[in-house]
Copies of this chain bind each other. A is one copy, B any other.
C-alpha cells in the first residue's frame, strides 16, 4: 500500500509519521523548507500520482490551488482524503475540482501532535465517505481503526455543526485568552491551570488554522454570536 501525504506542516509531518507505521509513505511539500519525518520517503507532487491514497494536510485556505494541481496528475481510480478541520467546504471543493473518476473521502482527525502525546489520549476521527465505492470506504474505515483511531462516520454538515460548538469554541476561547498574555502564578487554582493549558495548546496551532476554521465553517458565526451574548448577560448580572 503506497500512501501519499501532501503538506508537511505541523499536522502533516505528524500524520505522515503515524501513517508510516503501517504503509509506505511518500510525502510532498510545495516548498523545501520542511523537514522529512522519520520513516517517510520525500517526493515531489508528481510522485503522489502513483499512490493508492493521497492525504491532503494543507491549510484549508490552500485547498483550492492544491486540488487544481492534483486534478492534472491523478489517474482515474485514485483516492483523495482531506484532513481539514472543517468538512463542508473542502469536501465541496474536492467533489467539484477533482475529476469524477477520482474518489473522495473527507476525514477530520480530532487530535494533533500535542493532544496525541497526552497519557491515555483518545484519537477520534470524523469519517465522511462522500464519493467512494463501498468496498474502498469500508477498507479505509477499518484501516483507521487499525491505526488506533476511534472512527465516527458522519456527513460533512453534521461534522461542521458539531465541531463549531466543540473545537470551534475551544480555539476561539484559547485565542481570546491568548491575547491577554496570562501568566502562571504560585497561587493558581486548578481551574486557572486548565485555562493556561488550553491557551498553550490552542495557540500552539498555526493562526491560519484558527482563522480558516472560523471562516470556513458556516456554523461558527452563530457560536460567536451566542458567546458574545452570554458574556453580556453575565457582565450585566455583575
Question: A residues within 8 Å of B by Cβ?
Answer: 108, 110-111, 115, 118, 121-122, 124, 126, 150, 152, 159, 162-163, 165-167, 169-177, 179-180, 182-183, 185-192, 194-195, 197-198, 201-202, 211, 214-215, 224, 226-228, 230-231, 233-235, 237-238
Question: How many angstroms between the C-alpha atoms of A197 and B124 in the bound complex?
Answer: 19
Q: Which residues of B contact A173 (CB under 8 A)?
A: 173, 177, 195
The residue on B at minimum CB distance from A221 is B238
Most-contacted residue by chain B among A185, A187, A188, A237 (CB, 10 A): A187
Q: Which residues of B contact A163 (CB under 8 A)?
A: 187
Question: How many angstroms between the C-alpha atoms of A162 and B114 in the bound complex?
Answer: 29
* Cβ A190 vs Cβ B226 within 8 A: no
* Cβ B192 vs Cβ A195 within 8 A: no
* Cβ B176 vs Cβ A189 within 8 A: no
Question: How many angstroms between the C-alpha atoms of A48 and B122 in the bound complex?
Answer: 52
Q: A111-B189, A186-B152, A189-B110 are in contact. Are A231 and B169 (CB under 8 A)?
A: no
Q: A162-B185, A227-B180 are in contact. Are A190 and B111 (CB under 8 A)?
A: yes
Number of copies: 2
Instruction: Tell me how far the C-beta of A177 lies from the nearest C-beta in chain B, rounded to whole angstroms.
Output: 7
Q: A175-B234, A190-B121, A231-B231 are in contact. Are A195 and B169 (CB under 8 A)?
A: yes
Instruction: Tell me how far the C-beta of A190 lies from the nearest C-beta in chain B, rounded to whole angstroms.
Output: 4
Q: Which residues of B contact A126 (CB under 8 A)?
A: 187
* Cβ A182 vs Cβ B165 within 8 A: yes
Question: How many angstroms between the C-alpha atoms of A16 and B96 in the bound complex?
Answer: 67
Instruction: Tell me how far the C-beta of A135 lies from the nearest C-beta in chain B, rounded to whole angstroms.
Output: 25
* Cβ A189 vs Cβ B167 within 8 A: yes
Question: How many angstroms between the C-alpha atoms of A66 and B30 in the bound complex?
Answer: 70
Q: Which residues of B contact A234 (CB under 8 A)?
A: 172, 175-176, 179
Interface CB pairs A-B, < 8 A, 24: A108-B187, A110-B187, A110-B188, A115-B191, A150-B186, A159-B187, A162-B185, A165-B180, A165-B183, A166-B192, A167-B191, A167-B192, A169-B180, A170-B189, A170-B192, A172-B234, A174-B191, A176-B231, A177-B230, A179-B230, A180-B227, A194-B197, A214-B238, A227-B231
